[in-house]
């Protein structure tokens, strides 16, 4: 069985396992063939070449090497040595790197200025961008599409909110109408049964059904009637009692201040006689069309 063969393989020595592996008796996957370890090489020629390069007597401006310790800590007023830095403390380790770089800058910058080496980038410096214009154009299009999508989403949210508010108002109006209808039906039933003798619910129904129309009419009448309406009111009156309005009274019968004998006997100019129109027609002469138009314009 497989379990038996595994136990036998585990009890074999290294030499026996090597012989079994050479014969192909071992199952694949259980053993890994180790590659031969690379031999260590002592490249003395390469090391000597690197040492010769280090020993080249070049000027400092060609090398630009600065080897200094960390700058003094302004808080403790002492040089921060490597013994005082805990390598496991990330903050202290990074701060030591920063202060060492700061010491190198403070030492190298005056030397560069003395050698007249520019250390600041000129204002008209032109550097090629790391990304091409095509890549930047794709990024702009992507940002623009995201912005448009956000605007569409915002508009959709506003429309949904408006629809929700409109539905809410519509539901409130329907509920109010149903309540008014229910109250009116209850009042009608009470009146039919004789429990109430008031008919106020009819007036309330009319006012509720014609509320908008009356409101608009009240808004229109606040400004007063137009010129045409005022002219007609002046001409025909505002209504009221008309029957018997021309009857004489005791005061009007005794008042003769407006009596004109010439008019009463048709003796005025252009009235009666030859060529005159005379009579009632002359007294009730209607003005011409142009005169009526002028009267309308004057009334406006």
Averaged pLDDT, 195-215: 62
User: For residue 214, which of 203, 201, 229 has the smallest C-alpha distance?
Assistant: 203
Mean pLDDT of the chain: 77
Helix axes 211-222, 200-209, angle to 10 degrees: 70
CA distance 104 to 110: 11
More confident residue, 118 or 75: 118
Contact assessment for residue 21 and residue 31, using Cβ atoms and an 8 Å cutoff: yes
Give how far the C-alpha of residue 209 lies from the chain's centroid of Cα atoms, to the nearest Å.
Answer: 39
CA distance 81 to 152: 61
How high is the pLDDT of residue 2? 43
CA distance 164 to 154: 15
User: For residue 246, which of 237, 203, 68 has the smallest C-alpha distance?
Assistant: 237
**Poorest-confidence range of 55-69, 164-178, 184-198?**
184-198
Averaged pLDDT, 82-88: 73
How high is the pLDDT of residue 109? 93
Tell me the whole-structure pTM to 2 decimals.
Answer: 0.29
CA distance 263 to 259: 8
Averaged pLDDT, 81-95: 79
Residue 120 has pLDDT above 60, yes or no: yes
Q: Which two tokens stand for residue 108?
A: 């190298």
Give the number of other Cβ atoms within 10 Å of residue 169's Cβ: 10
Residue 12 has pLDDT above 90, yes or no: no
CA distance 88 to 169: 67
């Amino acid at each position: 069985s497989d379990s038996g063969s595994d136990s036998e393989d585990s009890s074999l020595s290294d030499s026996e396992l090597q012989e079994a592996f050479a014969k192909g008796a071992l199952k694949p996957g259980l053993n890994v063939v180790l590659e031969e370890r690379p031999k260590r090489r002592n490249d003395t020629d390469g090391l000597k070449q690197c040492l010769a390069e280090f020993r080249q007597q070049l000027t400092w401006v060609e090398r630009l090497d600065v080897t200094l310790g960390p700058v003094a800590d302004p808080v403790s007023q002492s040089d921060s040595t490597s013994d005082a830095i805990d390598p496991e403390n990330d903050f202290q380790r990074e701060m030591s790197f920063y202060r060492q770089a700061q010491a190198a800058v403070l030492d190298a910058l005056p030397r560069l200025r003395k050698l007249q080496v520019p250390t600041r980038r000129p204002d008209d410096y032109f550097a090629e961008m790391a990304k091409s214009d095509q890549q930047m154009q794709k990024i702009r299009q992507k940002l623009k599409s995201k912005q448009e999508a956000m605007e569409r989403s915002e508009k959709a949210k506003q429309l949904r909110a408006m629809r929700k508010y409109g539905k809410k108002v519509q539901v409130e109006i329907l509920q109010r109408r149903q309540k008014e209808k229910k109250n009116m039906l209850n009042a009608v039933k009470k009146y039919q049964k004789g429990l109430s003798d008031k008919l106020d619910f009819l007036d309330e129904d009319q006012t509720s059904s014609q509320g908008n129309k009356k409101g608009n009419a009240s808004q229109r009448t606040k400004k007063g009637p137009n010129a045409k309406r005022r002219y007609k009111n002046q001409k025909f009156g505002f209504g009221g009692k008309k029957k018997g309005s021309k009857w004489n009274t005791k005061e009007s019968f005794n008042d003769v201040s407006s009596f004109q004998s010439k008019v009463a006997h048709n003796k005025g100019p252009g009235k009666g006689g030859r060529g005159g129109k005379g009579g009632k027609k002359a007294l009730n002469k209607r003005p011409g069309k142009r005169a009526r138009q002028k009267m309308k314009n004057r009334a406006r």
